[in-house]
Structure 1
Amino acid sequence: MNGWTLSPALGWPAGIAVAAVMTACAVAEVAIHIRHRACSDETVASCVRRTLICLFTAIAVLTPSTVASTTSKAVNATDIVIAIDTTSSMAVKDATYGSATTISRLDAAKHAVHDLTKAYPAASFSALSFGASASLDVPLTPDTLAIDNWADALAVESSAASSGSSLDTPLDKLLLTLKDIRQRHTDDTIVLFLISDGEQTSTTTRRTYSSLRRYLDDAVVLGAGSTTGGKIPADGSDDSADDQETWVTDPTTGQPGISTLSPDTLSTIADELSGSAIMLDASHTATNSLPKASKAWRTTATAKTRQRTTPVVWPIAIVIAVLLAWELGAWIAMSRRLL
């Protein structure tokens, strides 16, 4: 519904003050004219003209405006944060992804990232990797190609650089990243994807992920690997043939250590995030196993009705300009008569 309102361009306090002064000037002009009309050469027309100038100026300062209802579409964007485990155990070749072919756990994570960028074509992404430490590799960006390239370039850290896997390594970096995204994009939907084998070899107690819940709308923990497990390459590479590879040894047995997928640990982390856990394998991928994340959390447009205020001052400005021109003409004519 359309209507009229006052919306002072100077703000209500200043607008009311200036309007009150101009109204007082108009009243004073009329009062002075009536009191001194017998001994003054001011005509009634001059009094009316000057009074109208003051009154119209007071009205203009209060800024008459029209109010109209408009409908706009508000876009609710989706922000995807991906965190990938790059510890040496992610080089174990016991994972499958969409087929029976055995690949490394990190390669399965890379395939998952590519599927996620396809599932969220209109979303923004942020990417983080963690091993002995965590790093934000790609700040929030709508460039899905940058995320795909980041995933392709990922490599596991050398076992020599590791002092034991700790699944809470990315917590502090994730907390800062998610908090920053939530503060800068208040209305966005934020979804976290954590990809790991769930192996915890550090002797320290793992911290809970529950502190991230306040900044998330959803979370999905993806497990890469198998419960059967496999040997860990000592150099962190997954390119060498098995007969040419050296393995990380278990200090207690002196034999190559076996790393296994830990579904229970990953499910516990998912519960702490109030999300879900999915173990990637030949039949479960990031494309066909995430109905909620892939379908519900997408960019959506919502129609919203808003009130738009449009100042209408130009007719008043024209009237004031005409009155001022009249005043100037009268003053020039009076000056010429006095010469």
Structure 2
Amino acid sequence: MALNPFWPTVAVAVAFLLAVALPAIRQRRSSVALWRRLGIGVLVLLAALRPSVATAPSSTAVRDLDVLLLVDRSLSMVAEDYADAEPRLDGVRADAAEIMTEYAGARFAVVTFDHSGRTETPFTLDTSAVSSLLEVTNPRQIYQRGSSIDAGLAEAEKLLKSSAKQHPERSRVLVYFGDGEQTVETAPGSMAPLRRYLSGALVLGYGTAEGGRMRLDDGDYLDGGEAVSVADESTLRAMAEQLGGSYEHRVSPGPVPTPTVTATVSLVDGQLDARDDWTWLFALLLLGPVLWELWDSLTLRRQASQWAASASTERGRT
């Protein structure tokens, strides 16, 4: 057991104990109220000392694997042709959650793109932060200059190259989420430069051949609902070939066929100085005697008021 005292409260508790105990010792008297108040003082003192007990450190499984999530956030990704007329980005979020579960213990990074690429988070073990980021990922603007399916290539290469240089022993997987729709006039560049950094790759395609309407933030559809985004699966399949990976068309939530890669799994000790704080226990024990003390005080006050009223009545009669 260890103590981490809060000294101002310790001083108050000691002063309270002395104020209660010394008069009783001098007068050699004892009562229920005295012992109750001494108990309150002792409990306050113990709580102020903030006792704690060391707990056994937990172990966390970590995997020598870096997973890069490359996410299309262009306007077409809010087209409502995923599952039951839901936005395509809803499918991205559901599949990303499946992937993080499948690759538990890996590090994850997120790059988003539309007409340009952006690193949203570098490689991290904090999957809750990645999930929170994806929950708020939406198109950055309504009126874009067009989007390109390779806009995230430079940012992705930067992250993968850094990972390969700093951690050559780690495996690396890239997962691409998009609909393959190229809305700029130029042809997309090849994703092949990323292949040398990867142990596996997966391209996930969203959208249908019939297409879906795009609902904007204000609830209206783009161009009154006339504008429709259609998925380009042939482009996505070509991308998967360039990456040396596989392609999967996603139309509803469910298991994701993640690439099988070799990655060492090891246990890492958690916080070695983790402790259980027992302050709450003494604070809880204080509740009973404090309520008792308050009840006695209210009772004495009522009795004093009644005696005063009775005495006043007697004086009035005389």
Is TM (by shorter chain) over 0.5? Answer: yes
- Residues 168-207 of structure 1 correspond to what in structure 2 (within 5 A)? 168-207=150-189
| RMSD between superposed Cα atoms in Å | 2.0
Cα distance change on mapping 1:198 and 1:148 into 2, 3 Å: same
Instruction: Output the amino acid matched with 1:109.
Output: V
User: For residue 123 of structure 1, what is the aligned residue in structure 2?
Assistant: 106
User: For residue 73 of structure 2, what is the aligned residue in structure 1?
Assistant: 86
Cα shift at 1:88:
0.4
User: For residue 228 of structure 1, what is the aligned residue in structure 2?
Assistant: 210
User: For residue 273 of structure 1, what is the aligned residue in structure 2?
Assistant: 243
Deviations 1:80-136 (A, max 9, x none): 00011000000111012xxxx231001110111111111111111111111121111
Match of 2:115 among 127, 132, 136: 132
Which consecutive unaligned segments of at least 5 residues does structure 2 have? 1-61, 267-318
Deviations 1:223-268 (A, max 9, x none): 11112101223x4x3x73xxxx13147xxxxx82221111111000
Deviations 1:250-287 (A, max 9, x none): xxxxx8222111111100000000100101113x74x2
User: For residue 111 of structure 1, what is the aligned residue in structure 2?
Assistant: 94
Instruction: Output the amino acid matched with 1:87.
Output: S
SS of equivalent residue, structure 1 residue 277: strand
Cα shift at 1:167:
0.8
User: For residue 148 of structure 2, what is the aligned residue in structure 1?
Assistant: 166
- Residues 241-256 of structure 1 correspond to what in structure 2 (within 5 A)? 245-248=220-223, 256=226
SS of equivalent residue, structure 1 residue 168: coil
CA contact (8 A) 1:122 1:142 kept: yes
User: For residue 37 of structure 1, what is the aligned residue in structure 2?
Assistant: none
Cα shift at 1:200:
0.7
Deviations 1:175-232 (A, max 9, x none): 1111001111101110000100110111012110000011111110001111210122
Q: Rg larger in 1 or in 2?
A: 1
SS of equivalent residue, structure 1 residue 159: coil
Instruction: Output the amino acid matched with 2:158.
Output: L
CA contact (8 A) 1:197 1:223 kept: yes
Following the alignment from structure 2 to structure 1, what is the Cα–Cα distance between the partners of residues 124 and 203? 22
Following the alignment from structure 1 to structure 2, what is the Cα–Cα distance between the partners of residues 199 and 205? 11
Following the alignment from structure 1 to structure 2, what is the Cα–Cα distance between the partners of residues 172 and 130? 11
Aligned pair count reads: 205
Report the identity percentage.
27
User: For residue 191 of structure 2, what is the aligned residue in structure 1?
Assistant: 209
Following the alignment from structure 2 to structure 1, what is the Cα–Cα distance between the partners of residues 119 and 159? 8
Cα shift at 1:298:
4.9
Following the alignment from structure 2 to structure 1, what is the Cα–Cα distance between the partners of residues 223 and 140? 13
Instruction: Output the amino acid matched with 2:77.
Output: M
CA contact (8 A) 2:63 2:106 kept: no
Match of 1:142 among 95, 120, 125: 125
Following the alignment from structure 1 to structure 2, what is the Cα–Cα distance between the partners of residues 94 and 257? 13
Which consecutive unaligned segments of at least 5 residues does structure 1 have? 1-74, 250-254, 302-339
Following the alignment from structure 1 to structure 2, what is the Cα–Cα distance between the partners of residues 188 and 125? 13
Instruction: Output the amino acid matched with 1:259.
Output: S
Following the alignment from structure 2 to structure 1, what is the Cα–Cα distance between the partners of residues 119 and 153? 12
Following the alignment from structure 1 to structure 2, what is the Cα–Cα distance between the partners of residues 257 and 167? 19
Cα shift at 1:296:
4.2
TM superposition score normalised by structure 2:
0.61
Instruction: Output the amino acid matched with 1:85.
Output: D
TM superposition score normalised by structure 1:
0.57
Following the alignment from structure 2 to structure 1, what is the Cα–Cα distance between the partners of residues 103 and 73? 24
User: For residue 156 of structure 1, what is the aligned residue in structure 2?
Assistant: 139
User: For residue 22 of structure 2, what is the aligned residue in structure 1?
Assistant: none
Instruction: Output the amino acid matched with 1:177.
Output: L
Instruction: Output the amino acid matched with 1:175.
Output: E
Following the alignment from structure 1 to structure 2, what is the Cα–Cα distance between the partners of residues 168 and 107? 21
